[in-house]
Amino acid sequence: MTRNIVDLLNDSSKMLSEKGIENARLNAEQLLRHTLGINRVDLYLNQDRYLTQTEAAAFKRCLKRRADREPLQYILGEAEFMSLPFVVDENVLIPRPETEILVEKTIQMCKEKFASKDQIEVLEFGTGSGCISVSLAKYLENARITSLDISRDALKVAEKNAGLNGVDDRIQFINQDCTSSKIANYFPDKFDVLVSNPPYVSPTDFEDLPEEIKKYEPAVALSDNRDGLSFYRKIAELSPELIKTSGFLMLELGLGQAVAVKEIFVKTSFNNINIFQDLNEIDRILFCEYE
């Protein structure tokens, strides 16, 4: 015999908590809502409802996946970023709050520097789920964005997200290795802005990541398999061929990388280099101008 909603919530919350899952009750609620296709209010208005055998089996599968530390967002197939909905799967990183700082600062600087421009040309290195490009297109109506990623599977997800948020007409997705020394040859016209959240986790730090990240999220989008700085060096090398005079660069940084990354760009043609902190007062974003 199947169980009713209130008993399932209580038991599944306890089980997830014993497995070390934070916010176990909320996780259980979201998994059950996902299984039943209902909102939170309806979940609690129908606490005495019994699940069908099909529903119970589906919920059990979801619960096992979460107990095995698979990220909740992958199980649900969705995540929120910049108050926008995004499709996510194992081919892309789960959008994170700190990356919202990158987007917010990019929007702010675009409005300050390019207020009179009819169209702002933006290039993103390593788009993944498309959360950065889609959010920029959504909140900057005069932005035209070119988004690159080496993964075709990631680009399929990004394209879905552009369509989901109604900005697919202003984003061009291209399957391309962002570190190619010939990348400038693909773009005869330069860009006003280059933005990126590159892979910045070193192999040593990768081993220390939580199981949910290390086991399930795409390693190629997390680690450069070197010292965590190789993508910043490559971006510093390639950017002068891609960014217009008076354009700017905005990059997300890993924990403790600000000094090293700033030194990389001090040696280039960029100036007015600034570091912005996230809400936890961690140096998180590097901004610099090309003149």
CATH of the domain at 17: 1.10.8
Are 58 and 142 members of one domain?
A: no
Query: Tokens representing 83?
Result: 């108050």
Residue 203 lies in a domain: yes
Q: What are φ and ψ of residue 248, in 5° steps? A: -145, 165
* 106, 191: one domain: yes
Position 290 scores a pLDDT of: 86
> What is the reported pLDDT for 291?
77
Q: Count of H helices and E strands in the chain?
A: 13, 9
- Asked if residue 78 belongs to a domain, the reply is no
CA dist., res. 51 & res. 190, Å (int): 57
Backbone dihedral angles phi then psi of residue 164, each to the nearest 5 degrees: -60, -35
- Which stretches of the chain score pLDDT less than 70? 1
Q: Is residue 16 part of a domain?
A: yes
What is the helix (H) or strand (E) element at residue 277, kind and residue range? Answer: strand 270-277
Q: Do 12 and 150 reside in the same domain of the chain?
A: no
- Exposure string of 171-197, with b = 16+ CB inside 10 Å and e = fewer, is bebeebebbeeebeeebeebbbbbbbb
Q: Is 5 exposed, middle or buried (0-12, 13-18, 19+ CB in 10 A)?
A: buried
Calpha distance 257→242 (Å, rounded): 24
Confidence at residue 193, expressed as pLDDT on a 0 to 100 scale: 98
Q: Are residues 47 and 191 in the same domain?
A: no
Nearest by Cα to 247 from 121, 134, 147, 155: 121
Specify the number of domains making up the chain.
2
Give the predicted TM-score (pTM) of the model. 0.95
What's the domain range around 62?
A: 5-68
Do 34 and 120 have their domain in common? no
- 130 and 46 co-located in one domain: no
Nearest to 201 by CA among 262, 258, 254, 151: 254
Residue 50: inside a domain: yes
pLDDT of residue 99: 97
